[in-house]
Homo-oligomer: A and B are copies of this chain.
Amino acid sequence: MKKNTTTMSNIELDRKTERFIARCRANGLKVTPQRIAIYRGLVDTDEHPSAEMLHEKVKKVFPGISLDTVNRTLLTLSEIGAASVVEGSGDARRFDGDSEKHQHFKCVQCKRIVDFHHKAFDRIKVPVGIARRFTILSKSVYLEGICDLCRRR
């Protein structure tokens, strides 16, 4: 019996793959078998894998693939909106000593992090289902974009 790590039907997966291929072409990206394998590996799980984890998975169908290719491809997918980075930036950990409640905006270009405080964001309510299932220690609202200084060029 085959171990099932699948989160959707093959039909659904194929449909997504089709749309992914279209998206690649729309962005002038070549459709390589490696890219498709990585995309399918990523979409067909809800584990939020790291590049390393996906590399292991994709190697089973594509033994020669390199970790660098997986990493590079994942970043490319993020750029065209076919994937997203949900944790970790690859950059150094950044600290804040301000204990007042506030939120952060991060510039994706210069990596500057700007504080702001919007009271409504302090008050967002965690849905009951989540609050029951998990012990919530922190909740935060996080914005990303281009900052005023970078936009000025």
Interface set, chain A 89-119, CB cutoff 8 A to B: 89-99, 104-108, 113-116, 118
- The distance in angstroms between the C-alpha atoms of A151 and B67, with both chains bound, is 34
Kindly state the interface size class of chain A when it binds its partner.
35 or more
What is the count of identical protomers in the complex?
2
Interface set, chain A 57-106, CB cutoff 8 A to B: 74, 77-78, 81-99, 104-106
Q: Does A140 contact B (CB under 8 A)?
A: yes
- The distance in angstroms between the C-alpha atoms of A129 and B114, with both chains bound, is 13
Closest-CB distance, A34 to chain B (whole angstroms): 15
Q: Does A12 contact B (CB under 8 A)?
A: no
Q: Among A45, A92, A115, which residue has the most Cβ atoms of chain B within 10 A? A: A92
Q: Contact between A143 and B148 (Cβ–Cβ < 8 Å)?
A: no
Residues on B with C-beta less than 8 A from A144 are 136-139
Q: Contact between B141 and A139 (Cβ–Cβ < 8 Å)?
A: yes
- The distance in angstroms between the C-alpha atoms of A123 and B114, with both chains bound, is 22
Q: Contact between B130 and A39 (Cβ–Cβ < 8 Å)?
A: no
Q: Contact between A130 and B106 (Cβ–Cβ < 8 Å)?
A: no
Q: Contact between B148 and A50 (Cβ–Cβ < 8 Å)?
A: no
Q: Which residues of A contact B (CB under 8 A)?
A: 39, 42-43, 45-46, 48-52, 54, 74, 77-78, 81-99, 104-108, 113-116, 118, 120-121, 124-127, 129-130, 133-148, 151
